[in-house]
Structure 1
Amino acid sequence: MIDGKSYSEIIFQPDISLGKLGIGLNILARWNEDGFRKKDYDDAGNIIRYVRWAEKGDKPLYARLGTLDRAILGHGFILNHYSNQGTDTSKNILGSEIDVNLKNSGVETVVNNITDPRLFGGRVYCKPLKMLKIDIPILSRIDLGLSGVTDTEPQQGNKDSLTVYGVDLGMPIFGNLLKVYADTAKIQDFGHGMAYGLGGEKHIGWIDANLGYKIEMRNLGEKFVPGVFNSLYEVMRPGTSSLSSAKKSSGWYGETSLGILKAINMEFSMENFKEGEPRVHGGLKVNSELISRITKKNIGVSFSYDQVREKGDNLFNLNAKNSVTTQEIIYGLNDNVILSYIYRGIIDKNGVKTKTASLATKMAF
């Protein structure tokens, strides 16, 4: 129902990869007895789902314009797995991620919508000792980062901007296997928090598996929420009012991921605080290569769940408030064309449910 009128709709989302270049489209058709709804094509952002160059962390350039699914700045203490899509998933948002990664310095940027910008984020970082050509074992690897994110309208009609800025420090110990780090951040006019931890990743050759992990302790002052810009931020649009009730607390945050034989990928993250509303995320993806060995069909499935937990909520309660559930089933028509069915269920802070389903095609050459 739009403007008091009912519409039928079809969403076509081709996804094309050409080397480092990735292009995704979002072609929407709505119609009723009066014909097609032409307003859906007034904004170019509704047609272009994303254009991507390279992957996050690649040198010297990573860029993505369009839908942002899991944007992150630094270690994620301020902006973590941010998605620029709200409850209306049929409307594509033309956001941007642009990173420049040089040998000893770099910059990361995020904008929610370049056609109507509201949220801006950035991080600059460097390896100060290496830039000064000071060679000290292990210590020369230290990187220092400065981050800031601001939302000029964090709640519909609320012009009280939400700004968070911080400093981070990291030092690899054993290559990618172990990195220690620390973050501190301040929400302007509200509270302050800090975190310190370790993380890394390891390839296990004998089972062809990739294991990633992060464990950190968090000390949070009053009126501070870590990772406030996250996967549920645009769904909830909490504004600044919710920060006033955030209590001083401490606790831990952990995340882990496991990919086996390039066929099964699992990820899980969770917060545990004495006070507040911790978040939980889980995901499972079974790639088509595994199922095809059994069924001889190119079929893959994936599932993800995000929730901001209230006291008394059960873990992975799929009907909980402040949650997003996404399911996808893919079917390979041939080696280059994949048909995808995507279901997304959203339950906002008031318990209002929004469900969307779409069919998409993905092409790779």
Structure 2
Amino acid sequence: MKKSLKLSILFALSIFLFATSTSAQNDYPVFGFDNSFTNLSNPDSISSFTGAFAFAQIGGENYAGVRFQPDLSFGKVGIGLDVPLYFNLDNGDLYTDEFKNGSGILRLISYLRYGRKKKDPVYLKLGQLKGEAIGYGSLVNNYSNSPSYEKRKVGFAYDIRIKKIFGIEGMYSDFNSKSFNLFAVRPYVRPFGASGIPVIKTLDFGFTYITDKDQTDRFDENSGKNEFLSDGIEAYGLDMGILLINSNFINLTGYAHYSRLRKVKSDSLVAFHQLVPPTQGYGAGKGTGIGLNANMNVIGNLFKLNSRIERLWYTDNYMPQFFDAIYEVNKDAKIATLGDVKSQEGIYGSVTASILDKIMVGGNLLLPDHVSEESPATVQLNLRTQDLFDKIIIEGYYTKGNLTKMSDTFTFDENSLAVMRFAYKISPILVTGIDYRWSWTEQENGSYKADNTVMPYMALRFQF
């Protein structure tokens, strides 16, 4: 896909985000484990249809077309599609280059879903993955397999429970034949799950294993393979949790975890460390954490609150929630930073509030006690309104990783991903608005570069 297609893609994508924010998919950017209020009005019961018209110049030729993006829900089953139809204005040929690489024709499917995670005994999802967490989020939290919409991936996530006692959850990031990509699995057991004993029946123990041998092209502007992953990266963890309070007013979960990032064995990484003296002592790292997660409802839907607080301890060469929202951008860069990470203590906290099911605002912060280049912070913010103002839509999402100065929290750079939308409903089916986006776009040489775009748009949207 050429750089000249960027306007068309962003134009159509803005419509896609608008549709999914209130559609069948449970996919608005969330906070990993803290996903209690991703649905403000039970969108699993809603189907929607969106079409976005666009013009583009591709390879010096002019194209016009439409992108159809229906989100369909049938009970526990959800289907999201993304069907681009661009025609050459000179000869009428259909543009098909978008399907020649990567997952090919599978790009037509945004996702296939069955069930709801942690609510139904069987949860399966195939397609784009966003806000994913494994277990209690010690290693995988807020993970996205497609930080660039120009290079979407097809992954798989699942959570299956058997007879209320045994379960297994996990994910695979990218069905690409070039390599074995990010794989995570967590078998778990609830030894008293079938006992019916309050509180005790919710106790669970899990073991997580993660590996990644990705050899596909990375997203950042230094295009190429992830050289440090030639022999892969491995991690594993143990965790446990229990639902301490379960009432109509508040649910309170306590949990603890231990995890370990094994040393990445790579000749390229060894050579890199020899050039950067502070990293010569690089080895395996481990971390532990203990925390509480609370969900609160006040007078029905008047006010809902989800909060999480966790105390972390970790050794040299370990980074909490290593597989996160920006992991896929440049895995080499993230692995390289492990060599500089020093033993540290810190706090992970998040708050998500919903008011009258019309405003959802939240954020999370991974904050070491002593923030530095060796121990950076990560922040994420999320805003969404639904029918708050007549015909006006306001939405936003922002994440910033590798943060060394809190004053740089809102400085946009290669560690930032952001979307902000202001839209107006002209009619029940016609919407116009403007998006601001900071993300990754493909360059003419095939590399990816951080870029900001302001994009006005108009869209047709149906619900049925």
Answer whether TM exceeds 0.5 for this pair.
yes
Closer/same/farther in 2, CA of residues 364 and 164 from structure 1, 3 Å limit: farther
In structure 2, C-alpha distance between the alignment counterparts of 1:360 and 1:185, rounded to whole Å: 46
Check conservation: 1:45, 1:94, Cα contact below 8 A. yes
1:66 is aligned, of 95, 102, 127, to 127
Alignment partner, residue 14 of structure 2? none
1:262 is aligned, of 357, 372, 381, to 357
Q: Give the strand-richer structure, 1 or 2.
A: 1
In structure 2, C-alpha distance between the alignment counterparts of 1:148 and 1:359, rounded to whole Å: 45
Closer/same/farther in 2, CA of residues 247 and 312 from structure 1, 3 Å limit: same
Alignment partner, residue 5 of structure 1? 59
Query: Gaps (5+ residues) in structure 2?
Result: 4-57, 219-224, 264-283, 442-447
In structure 2, C-alpha distance between the alignment counterparts of 1:277 and 1:19, rounded to whole Å: 43
Alignment partner, residue 128 of structure 1? 191
In structure 2, C-alpha distance between the alignment counterparts of 1:338 and 1:144, rounded to whole Å: 49
Q: CA deviation at 1:284?
A: 0.6
Q: CA deviation at 1:95?
A: 1.0
Closer/same/farther in 2, CA of residues 361 and 85 from structure 1, 3 Å limit: farther
Closer/same/farther in 2, CA of residues 339 and 18 from structure 1, 3 Å limit: farther
Q: CA deviation at 1:112?
A: 0.9
In structure 2, C-alpha distance between the alignment counterparts of 1:136 and 1:18, rounded to whole Å: 34
Q: Verify: 1:210 aligned to 2:304, yes or no.
A: yes
Check conservation: 1:180, 1:197, Cα contact below 8 A. yes
Matches within 5 A, 1:1-365: 2=2, 5=59, 11-29=67-85, 36-42=94-100, 43-87=104-148, 89-102=149-162, 103-116=164-177, 117-130=180-193, 138-153=199-214, 156-158=225-227, 159-175=230-246, 177-189=251-263, 190-205=284-299, 208-237=302-331, 238=333, 240-273=335-368, 274-275=370-371, 276-287=375-386, 289-291=387-389, 295=390, 297=391, 299-314=392-407, 316-329=409-422, 343-346=436-439, 352-355=449-452, 363-365=462-464
Check conservation: 2:363, 2:382, Cα contact below 8 A. yes
Closer/same/farther in 2, CA of residues 56 and 242 from structure 1, 3 Å limit: same
Check conservation: 1:127, 1:142, Cα contact below 8 A. yes
Check conservation: 1:340, 1:362, Cα contact below 8 A. no
Q: CA deviation at 1:94?
A: 1.2
* 1:243-292 alpha-carbon deviations (Å, 9 max, x no partner): 111111101110011111111001110021114111000011011x222x
In structure 2, C-alpha distance between the alignment counterparts of 1:152 and 1:284, rounded to whole Å: 35
Instruction: Please give the secondary structure, in 2, of the residue aligned with 1:303.
Output: strand
Q: CA deviation at 1:185?
A: 0.4
Using the size of structure 1 for normalisation, the TM-score is 0.85
Query: Gaps (5+ residues) in structure 1?
Result: none
Kindly provide the amino acid, as one letter, of the partner of residue 184 in structure 1: Y
Instruction: Please give the secondary structure, in 2, of the residue aligned with 1:216.
Output: strand
Instruction: Please give the secondary structure, in 1, of the residue aligned with 2:328.
Output: helix
Closer/same/farther in 2, CA of residues 157 and 307 from structure 1, 3 Å limit: closer
Instruction: Please give the secondary structure, in 2, of the residue aligned with 1:174.
Output: strand
Using the size of structure 2 for normalisation, the TM-score is 0.68
Q: CA deviation at 1:172?
A: 1.5
Check conservation: 1:179, 1:200, Cα contact below 8 A. yes
Q: CA deviation at 1:107?
A: 1.3
Task: Report how many residues are paired.
Answer: 354
Check conservation: 2:147, 2:439, Cα contact below 8 A. no
Percent identity of equivalent pairs:
25
Closer/same/farther in 2, CA of residues 308 and 360 from structure 1, 3 Å limit: farther
Query: Which has the larger displacement, 56-65 or 183-192?
Result: 56-65
Instruction: Please give the secondary structure, in 2, of the residue aligned with 1:234.
Output: coil
Closer/same/farther in 2, CA of residues 231 and 21 from structure 1, 3 Å limit: same
Check conservation: 1:325, 1:344, Cα contact below 8 A. yes
In structure 1, C-alpha distance between the alignment counterparts of 2:399 and 2:353, rounded to whole Å: 18
Instruction: Please give the secondary structure, in 2, of the residue aligned with 1:240.
Output: helix
Closer/same/farther in 2, CA of residues 58 and 144 from structure 1, 3 Å limit: same
Kindly provide the amino acid, as one letter, of the partner of residue 92 in structure 1: R
Instruction: Please give the secondary structure, in 2, of the residue aligned with 1:280.
Output: strand
Query: Which has the larger displacement, 241-250 or 277-286?
Result: 241-250
Check conservation: 2:2, 2:59, Cα contact below 8 A. yes
Check conservation: 1:171, 1:179, Cα contact below 8 A. yes
